[in-house]
Amino acid sequence: MEESFTININYQHAEHVFDTKILSLGYTYKVEVIIDGTVVYFEPDEERHYRAVVTNTENLPQRLTPELLKAIANYLEKQIVSQ
């Protein structure tokens, strides 16, 4: 099952919109976020915090920073875990 939607992240005093999918993988899931054409997967860990996984590290977008990834992970924690 895939559920597609967009997320709005406030980061560095600007709003950023990202296409997102929830990918169901048996008993767990990943959240796929597209950042300037680069696919980043966010996976929940044992404590329900999200870690970012980038599979293709060639030609990463300039705005793909650890701070942006943390902002997205925080958003996901607040939105998905609280449901």
Summarised one tens digit per residue, pLDDT across range 12-52 is 999 999 999 999 888 888 999 999 989 999 998 888 889 99
Q: What is the DSSP string of the chain?
A: -EEEEEEEEEETTEEEEEEEEEEEETTEEEEEEEETTEEEEEEE-TTS-EEEEES--TT--TT--HHHHHHHHHHHHHHHTT-
pLDDT band at 60 (very low <50, low <70, confident <90, very high): confident
Q: Where are the domains of the chain?
A: 2-80
Average pLDDT over residues 77-82: 73
For 59, the token pair is 């030609």
